[in-house]
Amino acid sequence: MLKGGFCILLPLHSDYQILGQYIEGGGEFQITSNIFLRLKLGLDRDEFNFLKTNTYDIFSYFHEFTGKKKLKASGLILGLYLEAEEDPEKFRSSLKDAAKSLEQLDLMNMEQKEFERDLKKTIQNVVEPLSDILNPEIMKKKIIDRTKALLSGGKTQRSLAHELLEKIEDKEHVKISKYCEAAEKEIEKKNYKKAAKKFQKAKQLSEELCGKDSRITKELQERVAISENIPEIIKERDETASEAREALKNEKFHEAYLLYHKASKLSKDLAQFDKEEEYRMKSKALNEFAKVDEKFK
């Protein structure tokens, strides 16, 4: 299970700078000089590094800067805090995407709290697969993490925490996944309005258990809105994928990369995660190939 992440800036003329971190449920982890050294030694050999600690497994990636930022810093280290037994490899490509996204921020001048908000948002939106979050056991752990944070609050927050724990005992969180599964079956039958109603029930329950501002709730709200437009989105996605294949046949690699990237995003909107991964991986491979092809033309 993904528990959070951190980001370290590597300035050219000064020591490393920890830009920020976050851990689900308000946990803590100190990135000591020893931890940094172990990360850096691994990343000097490979752009990815897997490090075990007593608290979390750490999967990190070194992202080298380009453009003007390279004049001030060599790059950044973006790391994920993982629970033991979690497979780090499934985060490999999306961790790269998240690092590229963070590079666009004004890293040299941001306040730590401001950066940590962007870091959390980026990791949750880019790195963490929604299909994982909707797994009942992972969802249960996330709700428990929420209760831990609430228990350190006032009387109202503590009362809510106890209510959530009772609902977990009653397996209320499992209903979210069941509603989503039922919605997907309605989509297969092309009953899009019925699917929207199922997603709406999942969203309402997610508000109670996970909170209105949780990623799960927001994503489910988007699914409610998307459901009735599914035929148009599927048509656009399939046409885009077909155009990508045609571009690839004609050796228009950059164009094929852009089209597969679009098809991947449309598949994500449809919650078709196999297709999302297929088109995302093809897009990434073609992007690298297009760069090499352009270089040696």
pLDDT at 79: 95
Rounded to an integer, the average pLDDT of 105-131 is 85
| Spatial separation of the C-alpha atoms in residues 239 and 244, rounded to whole Å | 9
Rg (C-alpha) for the chain, rounded Å, is 21
Which residue is associated with the tokens 């092309």? Answer: 190
CB 44 within 8 A of CB 37: no
87 pLDDT higher than 70: yes
DSSP 265-295: HHHHHTT-HHHHHHHHHHHHHHHHHHHHHHH
Q: Of 48-52, 68-72, 175-179, where does mean pLDDT reach its minimum?
A: 68-72
Torsion of CA 196, 201, 206, 211, to 10 degrees: 90
Mean pLDDT in residue range 24-52:
89
Mean of all residue pLDDT scores within the chain = 88
Evaluate if residue 54 carries a pLDDT over 70: yes
**Burial class of residue 89 (count of CB atoms within 10 Å of its CB; 0-12, 13-18, 19+):** exposed
Average pLDDT rounded to a whole number, residues 71-100? 88
pLDDT at 55: 87
Tell me what pLDDT residue 297 has.
67
* pLDDT, position 243: 96
Cα 225 to Cα 9, 189, 217, 279, distances in angstroms: 39, 18, 13, 23
**pLDDT score at 93:** 78
Whether 130 has a pLDDT exceeding 70, the answer reads: no
Please state the pTM of the whole predicted model. 0.58
- Helix H or strand E segment including 233: helix 230-249
Residue 97, pLDDT above cutoff 90: no
Question: In the prediction, which pLDDT does 292 show?
Answer: 76
Helix, strand or coil, per DSSP, at residue 186: helix
Cα gap 90→43, rounded to integer Å? 18
- The candidate with the shortest Cα–Cα distance to 206, out of 146, 149, 159, 157, is 146
What local confidence, expressed as pLDDT, does residue 38 receive?
Answer: 93
How much is the pLDDT for 178? 93
